[in-house]
Structure 1
Amino acid sequence: MQRTAILLTNDDGIDAPGLVAMHQAISQWIQISGNQDRYDITVVAPDRGRSECGHSVTTTRDLAVTEVQSRWFAVDGTPVDCVRSAMTVLCPNASLVFSGINAGANLGVDLLVSGTFAAAREAALHGVPSMAVSHYRRPDVPKTWDHTGRWLKPVLDSFFREVMSTGNFDVGMTANDSEHRPGQLWNVNLPAIDPDTDLPPMFDCEVERKPMQRAGTLKDPPEVLAKSQSATGSEPMSRRVERQPIQIQSDFHGRPRSSGTDVERCFSGNLTISRISPYPA
């Protein structure tokens, strides 16, 4: 039997504990389900934290890749760079992609800036079923990872069952295909509750569309730059130039939320699953 290739990535970097937790969760699921001889896992992740970089990519230079341990690769690029590097070179036969576990929730309009979600979305655009996993955090709840495999097991059960039942499992898409089908794209968020909880309630829900409220502050004092170059860069100008920082603040935990959306459900202590189209509109 040909083994199925699973790709793992994230946006917190190759050394992030959430990536290790994701690897362990998938490995545990494979073992419990009796599929040890069916799947291979390859990790391709940024060489350092790349949070909130969205769907950005590197196009002006080559990417450097380092195999830090067997089947674990660090790429000096964004999460989307990692997926592209994997699907073209490092793990070209990837049939499933998991991105995470992100240290912090990715809910609602967060998805527009989330590198975790962007990595999963990139794979789904190429026909590969993908899942982004994030963990909501609060200061009053221990930030541990050992429980995540237990919480994710029913999610993985549903994901693998649905992917296989719909036939959206074998990639094999080429430029000659008459019709391109995107892969399934799930966005999963674990709640910030007692990690000793056996299993949090699980809900399928829509993504919150209300943006987060923000306030900006112009900070004092300004930094004075004595000189600045002319537009042509040929001669210095004598005019006074001030550079002043702007601080933009928001209340993540107090953000707007509508009943039944991913934000409201996750903030209420539930595990949320949102099935999303990878296309821009």
Structure 2
Amino acid sequence: MHILLTNDDGLRAPGLQILKRELAACGYRLTVVAPNGQRSAASHSMTINKALYCREETDEAGIREIAVSGTPVDCVKMAMEYFLAEDKPQLIISGINNGYNLGSDVLYSGTVSAAMEGPYYQVPALAVSMYPLEEERCAQTARLVHELVEKVVVRGRFPGILNVNVPPAGDISLDNVCVVPQTVQIYHNVVAEKRDLDGSLCYHIVGDIDMEGAPENSDVACIRSGRIAVTPLRWQQTAMAAIDDVKSCL
């Protein structure tokens, strides 16, 4: 199987490099196309008003790696439309991200948005995140990704998007996986007021995650209980249940 790897933390981010190493050991053929630097919270943005610059090289294991000056979505589009146009991958994996992508955060996540490109190209995709990103647990998570790919994508022929989040402690195995819906991710202290070096007033969007208020049987509650959250997502956003309501209003 040919897999496209990407992320929003940058080509040299430890999570991506560990995932590459572990999946290569499992025998997959890999191509890496990722941002040339940090692009967290890029959401589904694309670069349309300025040029993209790409740097291609091959790592010591012979794996093709391409750094792109744009967003995670740019990376997938460059891969599918240009670099791999004649050698399309059968799967896209975005990650392993340093930090959760839970609940409504998937709307802002560059990691998840890259995976959202999969169904557009009729390719299944995984977004994988964990916190904190420690080398050994990250390697274990990469091996779990291999198991998910074999069971869900290869055998199960799942055609869509899986969002995977791994907690800071607990067993990293299929036995500790919960398949759960996303919820609303609540933050406190979202805007921080600060002073710049010259004394100017400025603001930072930050926020403290509220892990306690999430309902049971949700991705946030799953992480809170020390289990791995797996959530199927879709990129189509039409509210089908509201179609008739809106028609009746008009």
When normalised by structure 2's length, the TM-score is: 0.82
Distance in structure 1 (CA, Å) of the matches to 2:237 and 2:10: 26
Which residue number corresponds to residue 187 of structure 1? 163
Which residue number corresponds to residue 108 of structure 2? 113
| Mapping of residues 81-100 of structure 1, within 5 Å | 81-92=74-85, 93-100=88-95
Structure in which a larger fraction of residues adopt helix: 2
The partner residue of 2:138 within 145, 148, 151 is 148
Q: Which segment is superposed worse, 13-22 or 244-253?
A: 244-253
Distance in structure 2 (CA, Å) of the matches to 1:214 and 1:14: 31
Distance in structure 1 (CA, Å) of the matches to 2:140 and 2:101: 20
Q: Amino acid of the residue matched to residue 217 of structure 2? A: G
| Mapping of residues 166-177 of structure 1, within 5 Å | 167=157
Q: Amino acid of the residue matched to residue 166 of structure 2? A: L
1:133 aligns with 2:128: yes
- Contact residue 21 and residue 146 of structure 1 kept, 8 A: no
- Contact residue 165 and residue 228 of structure 2 kept, 8 A: yes
* Closer/same/farther in 2, CA of residues 50 and 249 from structure 1, 3 Å limit: closer
* Closer/same/farther in 2, CA of residues 133 and 167 from structure 1, 3 Å limit: closer
Which residue number corresponds to residue 17 of structure 1? 14
Distance in structure 2 (CA, Å) of the matches to 1:252 and 1:117: 18
Which residue number corresponds to residue 203 of structure 2? 246
The partner residue of 2:182 within 194, 204, 207 is 207
Distance in structure 2 (CA, Å) of the matches to 1:149 and 1:187: 18
Distance in structure 1 (CA, Å) of the matches to 2:64 and 2:206: 40
* Closer/same/farther in 2, CA of residues 51 and 220 from structure 1, 3 Å limit: closer
Distance in structure 2 (CA, Å) of the matches to 1:213 and 1:158: 34
Cα shift at 1:264: 1.0
* Closer/same/farther in 2, CA of residues 161 and 217 from structure 1, 3 Å limit: closer
What is the SS of the residue equivalent to 2:162? strand
Higher alpha-carbon Rg: 1
* Closer/same/farther in 2, CA of residues 218 and 11 from structure 1, 3 Å limit: closer
Post-superposition CA distance 1:22-54 (Å, at most 9, x none): 1123223x2xxxxx3xx4200000001111110
Cα shift at 1:149: 3.5
What is the SS of the residue equivalent to 1:245? strand
The partner residue of 1:77 within 50, 64, 70 is 70
Which residue number corresponds to residue 54 of structure 2? 65
Cα shift at 1:160: 2.9
What is the SS of the residue equivalent to 1:94? coil
* Pairwise CA RMSD: 2.6
Distance in structure 1 (CA, Å) of the matches to 2:122 and 2:96: 22
Distance in structure 1 (CA, Å) of the matches to 2:201 and 2:140: 48
The partner residue of 2:154 within 135, 155, 164 is 164
Cα shift at 1:249: 4.4
Cα shift at 1:97: 0.4
What is the SS of the residue equivalent to 1:203? strand
Identity over aligned residues, as a percent?
A: 32
Structure 1 residue ranges without an equivalent (≥5) = 31-35, 138-142, 169-182, 225-242
Distance in structure 2 (CA, Å) of the matches to 1:40 and 1:198: 24
Distance in structure 2 (CA, Å) of the matches to 1:150 and 1:216: 35
Cα shift at 1:208: 1.1
Structure 2 residue ranges without an equivalent (≥5) = 239-250
1:44 aligns with 2:39: no
Distance in structure 2 (CA, Å) of the matches to 1:149 and 1:247: 33
Distance in structure 2 (CA, Å) of the matches to 1:65 and 1:217: 35
* Closer/same/farther in 2, CA of residues 62 and 278 from structure 1, 3 Å limit: same
Q: Amino acid of the residue matched to residue 186 of structure 1? A: L
- Contact residue 3 and residue 30 of structure 2 kept, 8 A: yes
